[in-house]
Structure 1
């Protein structure tokens, strides 16, 4: 009897998997909603562009996947469906996803010392890979951009004295806190992960590993990922993907690391990505850090950062308005590329309007 019941449930699972929609070489398409809700979204996301002052909300691409089907797509400026767009710090979440494949191969553990895979960290031997994934290395990093370039660690790393060897530049920073005890957003931490990956998978596999491990299994054909002078992928900043290709990563994460009948990422890895860092002190205006992903979770007494989106929403975010939002409960993946320079773009506003247009969720 029990054997029959087991076979019955296996058949149900198989039928459920077969009923899901997965992209082949191209995304299958579903009907695009219309009406006032979509008009409101487009009015917000695609106002007239001022290419001289570069002020205001400047969406370059907006793409929506619902239940595995492409249901909306619009581009502006020079960006098109075939443009591998600079993702900026979405690259961090991409590197975390690549690392998840290596984790599934049994090549490292979260609590392994980062020193094990990146020996120059000998002065910071207490830092673990989990600490780096939480942006909690304890290194005294200043993630300032155009508004404070002279004291910015990230500007120096990307453009001046640190650009040849970004991991080594990060390692030279002093500690301000014990590793694993405090969150401080750091592009340097992400590049240390990339340097560690080189020894996790081995130097021979490393140059092709993001492609063989992640991009090719997902059907991503046109990704570009720049390296520094040592051949280390710039995990903080310099991956380029089309909006359609980035949405494939979002669908993988929305479905707990499964792609078709293959569990590409272990479920426990995806759970780690989506679990808030335990020592994060919440700021109501900021998304909550997970494992190199951003979460819409209420923690430490603070409300959800994006109150008009469900609490299971999580995202990969980048400079100047790059965003990929994943809402598993509503089977939505939303990719938004932009060129926002003045801070007017709002994650919550976009999510609210998109849910009204595509998920039928009307907020008061």
Structure 2
């Protein structure tokens, strides 16, 4: 009996010891997400070594980026800068265009306008712009909601160029039945401006840009409204996205809306949210085509990634599982493209050699 009791005592002691070790590991404080101060150039950093990254492959990544006409590249981990590189004459203070990556700015501000009660994305666009904003028959025009503009499912003809005058917005299919990459999304800026009673830029600056310390401006380029900023300003917006719409304790945009924006929004193009591209789905559409392609949007990238993709390879990659925001600005890596290119997958192949 004494031997049996001794064995029971030893077993219990060992169990308690192991339990205490597990508890100690579980109680390790997780690093809080860092937000760079507003109105300051200060931005905390961390080393690749502290993340156990393969530092031997960083130069290879930089060489590839330079070869592919990049102007800047930046990686944040949990908000802190791990990598920041500029190429040629481009510097941390040089502005560059976001192209269609800026669609995500419009998506975000539309969500802010909705949370303020100015609009409802399920309402028809003509509630805010009046009828006749397209050349579609009135009954067909009235099918188009703000949400259809957010999801690229307006049903309007995408083959007529970027001009969004009524004569150029012609009916092809009922709203919600066809996905097409179309500049008509920009009418959301008019919706917000009309509902807010101020210019789009003024509302954008007050409600988003200034609240997260971005710099930059909207510039009219022909029929396009294009955002220009520094790389760090683009990274600030990416960090807001990583934090699910919160900036340093301040919820800038409703997290429920933002979650919807960064997940599949309709059943035609599974890789599209509210003007955000979604990775890890089973099929996707490319801009300027009605074809459905099998597989993930960017196979080399993490499945939970969502991204802002702009003409000639402007990129914001957001990866919640790895707490990463990755920015690339520059000229087209290979040939001119609308948003996506083979460069996305190739670049992620090089990134993986560093971070994995």
**Global fold match (TM > 0.5):** yes
* 8 Å contact kept, 2:218–2:225: no
Aligned to 2:62: 42
Aligned equivalent of 2:161, options 148, 153, 172: 153
Alpha-carbon deviation of 1:227? 4.3
Deviations 1:136-169 (A, max 9, x none): 1100122xxxxxxxxx512xx3xxxxxxxxx4x1
Aligned equivalent of 2:145, options 110, 124, 128: 128
* 8 Å contact kept, 1:92–1:237: no
Deviations 1:212-254 (A, max 9, x none): 000111011x31112489xxxx7x5510011101111111111
2:292 equivalent to 1:292: no
Aligned to 1:184: 180
Aligned to 1:197: 192
- Give the number of aligned pairs: 302
Asked which structure has the greater CA Rg, the reply is 2
3-state DSSP of counterpart to 1:183: coil
Within 2, Cα distance between the matches of 1:252 and 1:109? 23
Aligned equivalent of 1:117, options 128, 135, 143: 128
* 8 Å contact kept, 1:321–1:345: no
Deviations 1:41-79 (A, max 9, x none): 1232112xxxxxxxxx21111011111101111111332
Aligned equivalent of 1:214, options 184, 193, 208: 208
Alpha-carbon deviation of 1:307? 1.3
Within 1, Cα distance between the matches of 2:30 and 2:253? 17
3-state DSSP of counterpart to 2:312: helix
Within 2, Cα distance between the matches of 1:281 and 1:324? 20
Segments of 5+ residues of structure 1 without an aligned counterpart are 1-15, 48-56, 143-151, 158-166, 283-287
Aligned to 1:12: none
Misfit runs of 4+, over 4 Å = none
Normalising by structure 1, we get a TM-score of: 0.77
Alpha-carbon deviation of 1:336? 0.2
3-state DSSP of counterpart to 2:309: strand
Aligned to 2:250: 262
Aligned equivalent of 1:248, options 232, 236, 250: 236
Within 2, Cα distance between the matches of 1:32 and 1:79? 23
Segments of 5+ residues of structure 2 without an aligned counterpart are 1-28, 284-292
3-state DSSP of counterpart to 2:63: helix
Aligned equivalent of 1:303, options 268, 289, 295: 295
Greater relative contact order (Cα < 8 A, sep 6+): 1
Alpha-carbon deviation of 1:345? 5.4
* 8 Å contact kept, 1:313–1:328: yes
Aligned to 1:19: 32
Q: CA RMSD in A?
A: 2.4
3-state DSSP of counterpart to 1:121: coil
Normalising by structure 2, we get a TM-score of: 0.78
* 8 Å contact kept, 1:68–1:251: yes
Aligned to 1:10: none
Q: In 2 relative to 1, CA 80–257 (structure 1 residues): closer, same or farther, beyond 3 Å?
A: same
Aligned to 1:31: 47
* 8 Å contact kept, 2:300–2:349: yes
